[in-house]
Every structure is written in structure tokens, then in C-alpha cells.
Amino acid sequence: PEVSAMEVLESQDISYEDIGGLDNQIQDIIECVELPLIKPESFERVGVEPPKGVLLHGPPGTGKTMMAKAVAHRTDATFIRVVGSELVQKYIGEGSRLVREVFDMARKKAPSIIFIDELDAIAATRLSDTNGADREVQRTLMQLLAEMDGFENRGDIRIIAATNRVDILDPAIIRPGRFDRMVEVPMPDTESRSLILRIHSRGLSLALDVDFDKLATLTENTSGADLHALTTEAGMFAVRNDRDSVTMADFMAAIDKVLKPRQPQVNEHP
Ligand code: ATP
């Protein structure tokens, strides 16, 4: 059957400048993914092999997918995205075949970046009882490991995986030669939140009273994705009130609407 759980994109419009507050993580990605793709000879000259797989781990909505897309953009690599849970749930019985197809596609369209989101859905520590669904997950994982072990590490295919649950991963997946470079992508701190708010407000017409540093202190425990939603909502308040620009009050109202219902502690430090 013509099922496709993979998304193949030949060009990306996200760049490193669109990502707030992950400078060290971006440096890691440049070293492990970007340089092997654009300067494989530097690695050959020195005789060092770049890591085959990079594992991005951290809470949802913190920029893991963005980083993978940004490095694809920078290197002009084909970007192939698959979602772990879809491999084993959406196309039951097709998981291992899909994994094989993803690697075939990556070879055909090289240079490429394979991005596996929700890696934990296919690479969690094995459960003791193996019902049908678990066996399917295991077969899919086995295929992934076989593909990773099998492909020649020439730098023109890079594999990035992401997970929110690094704690439950099967140790086999992080062995040397597999996802042996781990990059933690944490929730943004106050300074990063201010940067992220600025990034998402770039296209907005802003009133002079908007204070991003202040907003950053009022948005503890929020991810980049939350801050994006917040910025959009602030813009919506300005539209609803038929104003030309977005004010600090619009952002405050957006905090109440978007974050408060979920996080009662958000306005602890007004
Ligand atoms: P998940 O684990 O849920 O897949 P993720 O870590 O891959 O999440 P992304 O898809 O990269 O999260 O981020 C979702 C959206 O949140 C982005 O499209 C962007 O708008 C915003 N975002 C997240 N992190 C950042 C960041 N560090 N800087 C700017 N925007 C961010």
C-alpha cells in the first residue's frame, strides 16, 4: 500500500536566528550535523567520525523541531520527518517497512537530515510482556537500529531524534554509533523568554510601552510554544479593539487568557 508516514521537505524557512536562547545547543548541532554535511573533508583529514545520531531531549514546545529544521535550512539538506508514534500506531504492521523507506529516501535525496520525533514511542525500554503491539514496536526499533548500524557514516546523512522522555529510552538506542550525542533542550529561563517574545513579536506593530523583560518575569514555566501562542493572542486583543499597535495591556490580557487557566502560579510576581 502507498502509505507514507514521512514528511519530505526540500527547503526550510527556519533559521538559527528564529530560535531564542539555545545558543549552546545550536553550537552542538552545528558541530554534529552542520559541519559533517558541509565540510566532510575536515573530519576525513583529521580521521575523526562525526556522531551518527544526535538526540534532542527536553519538554514539549521548547524548539527541538525548530533546531532540526534550521540546520536543514542552513545546509540545504532534504529534511525527512517521521513521528515515532505514527510509525507504530497509524500504520499498524508497517513500522519497520516505513523505517527502511525513510533511510532509502534519505540516501536517494542526500544530503539529508532524518528527523525522528517522539523517539520514545519506538525506543522505550522493553516491557516484559510482549503483546502484538509491543512486538510491532520492537520490530520497528530493530529496523531503526539495523539501519543506523548499516549505513556508512560519510556525513551526507545525519539523524536527529527528539524525545520528551529520555528517562524511558532503551539503552541500546544511545550506544556508541547510534544516538551517542545527547543535547538537552530545557525550558527557557527568563532571559531566553524575553528573546523568544521578541522573536515572535518581530512582525507586530508594537506600542512603546511593551516591556519584554517584564513580560519574561511574568511568564515563568512557559515554553517557546506557549510564548508564541501568547504573542499571537496579544495581537488578537489589539485587533479586537481595533487598534494599530499591540500594547503592554494586550500582552497582560493574553497572559490571563492563555496562561492563567493552566498555571495559577503565573502571576505570583507581578
Ligand atoms: P515537541 O516536543 O512538542 O515536538 P519541540 O521542542 O519540537 O516540541 P518546536 O516544534 O520546535 O518544539 O516548537 C514549537 C513552536 O514553539 C515553534 O514553531 C515556535 O513557534 C515556538 N518555539 C519553541 N521554542 C522556541 C524557541 N526556543 N525560540 C523561538 N520559538 C520557539
State mean pLDDT over 124-140.
74
Contacts with 183 (C-beta within 8 Å, 6 or more apart), sequence order: 25, 28, 29, 54, 55, 56, 57
State mean pLDDT over 136-148.
90
Annotated ligand binding at 248? The verdict is: no
> CB of 225 closer than 6 A to ligand 1?
yes
Q: 77 pLDDT exceeds 70?
A: yes
Q: Grid coordinates in use for 6?
A: 514521512
State mean pLDDT over 242-252.
97
Cα(129)–Cα(134) distance, rounded to whole angstroms? 8
Q: What residue owns the CA closest to ligand 1's atom 19?
A: 225
- Which whole-number Å values give the CA distances from 120 to 117, 167, 199, in the listed order? 9, 9, 30
Centroid of ligand 1 to alpha carbon of 63 (angstroms): 3
Amino acid residing at 173 = I
Reading across the β-sheet that carries 78-83, which strands appear in turn? 6-9, 78-83, 112-117, 157-163, 53-57, 181-184
> Would you give the DSSP letter of residue 10?
S
Contact status, residue 219 vs residue 21, Cβ threshold 8 Å: no
> CB of 145 closer than 6 A to ligand 1?
no
Contact status, residue 136 vs residue 92, Cβ threshold 8 Å: yes
Q: How far is CA 209 from the centre of its chain?
A: 33
More confident site: 21 or 128: 21
Q: 185 pLDDT exceeds 80?
A: yes
Amino acid residing at 210 = V
Average pLDDT value over all residues in the chain: 90
Nearest to 61 by CA among 7, 31, 22, 102: 22
Report the sign of the C-alpha dihedral through residues 19, 23, 27, 32, in that order.
negative
Annotated ligand binding at 63? The verdict is: yes
Q: What is the pLDDT of residues 209-235, one digit of tens each?
A: 999 999 999 999 999 999 999 999 999
Q: Grid coordinates in use for 61?
A: 514546545
Q: What is the pLDDT of residues 36-63, one digit of tens each?
A: 999 988 988 999 888 889 999 999 999 9
